[in-house]
Amino acid sequence: METRRPTIPAAEEILGRYFPVLDHGFVALVDYMGSDEDVERAARVSYGAGTRKVSQTRGLVRYLRRHRHTTPSEMVELKLHCAMPMFVARQWIRHRTASVNELSARYSLMPLLFYEPGAEQFALQSRSNRQGRETGAPEAVYREAVERWERLRRDAGDTYRWLLEEDVAREIARIDLPVSTYTQWYWKIDLHNLLHFLSLRVDPRAQWEIQQFARVIAGMVARVAPLSYEAWIDYDLLAEPLTRVEREILGTLLDADGNGIAARDGAAVTTDAMKEAGLSAREVRELVDKLRAPERPDFTLDLSTMVDADTMAAKMYEAVPDTGLE
């Protein structure tokens, strides 16, 4: 039967396909409802498939995002199937505006898949950012870390398997699986809240591992709602708000009127002058960063990595301990 639902060819192409993330994780777009036209239709509360040009839809979508008129983008939804290490899931679940169903380790047997950071992700504690990493971890420390991780995970996996074989309840057997163990969930969220999630989680200040998931999801959004995605990049992700003091400082440098913007002759502002104007040393650094031209990120999905659901399911089943139990 032919559908009367709006479908988007670029989204249909990846629907139900699995994109590997990290060493054993994945993200799949299971379903979606709506696209940019539905954002427009909701904003106008108008009928059916319209005759409007893409340029008109684009103008409205961009206007809505620029002016934080966000409810029309709540009319578009994405449903994803994702597998991620438990420590990533713990960060992800903080986004309360999604509907979630996680694999029940009380009911199901857990695939014994553990995240192991690659050598290039193995890093020292950052000196400048307490939540960050710094390059320069000695190779020998990485080698020993891998050995220790493997020993610990073998032990945790063996204990899990043994408890199951002894017919201990699954909800007890799983209690010492490490937070590197992969879990899975179905995650449904509307476009407005998804873009908020992406703004926080593709950001370099987010943990690198969750960034990898967010980047793939951003690539999916670009296919489902390309105009909203573009507006998000322009008005949210790469935009920066200016504070009152910052605007006053810029006002001493630039002349802005109906004819355009011009630099005031010979105008300059020193760090000390910015501090005198009321900015802290950190705010001065942040203002300088804000004024650098941003680099456009590339979240294009790599379709060559995409696998079908059966292939991904087989990989997961293979990792479930064989206890002879159902």
Ligand X SMILES: Cc1cc2nc3c(=O)[nH]c(=O)nc-3n(C[C@H](O)[C@H](O)[C@H](O)COP(=O)(O)OP(=O)(O)OC[C@H]3O[C@@H](n4cnc5c(N)ncnc54)[C@H](O)[C@@H]3O)c2cc1C
Q: Pick from 95, 133, 161, 290: which binds ligand X (CB under 6 A)?
A: 95
Clarify whether 201 is annotated catalytic: yes
Residue placing its CB nearer to ligand X in the complex, 98 or 279 = 98
In order, the DSSP letters of 76-130 are -EEEEEEEEEHHHHHHHTT-TTSEEEE--TTTSPPP--B----GGG--EEPSS-T
Buried b (16+ CB within 10 A) or exposed e, 29-58: bbebbbbbbbbbbbbeeeeeeeeeeeeebb
> Taking CB under 6 A as the rule, does residue 277 contact ligand X?
no
> Taking CB under 6 A as the rule, does residue 94 contact ligand X?
yes
Three-state SS sequence of 51-85: CCCHHHHHHHHHHHHHCCCCHHHHHCEEEEEEEEE
Site string for ligand X, 114-153 (x = CB under 6 A): -----------------x----------------------
Residue placing its CB nearer to ligand X in the complex, 131 or 270 = 131
Q: Pick from 206, 239, 245, 319: which binds ligand X (CB under 6 A)?
A: 206
Site string for ligand X, 36-75 (x = CB under 6 A): ----------------------------------------
Q: Which residues contact 197 (CB under 8 A, 6 or more apart)?
A: 95, 98, 189, 214, 217
> Taking CB under 6 A as the rule, does residue 90 contact ligand X?
no
Q: Pick from 196, 211, 283, 290: which binds ligand X (CB under 6 A)?
A: 196
Which amino acid would we find at residue 157?
Answer: G
Q: What are the residues binding ligand X (CB under 6 A)?
A: 94-97, 131, 193, 196, 200, 205-206
Q: Which residues are catalytic, by number? A: 201
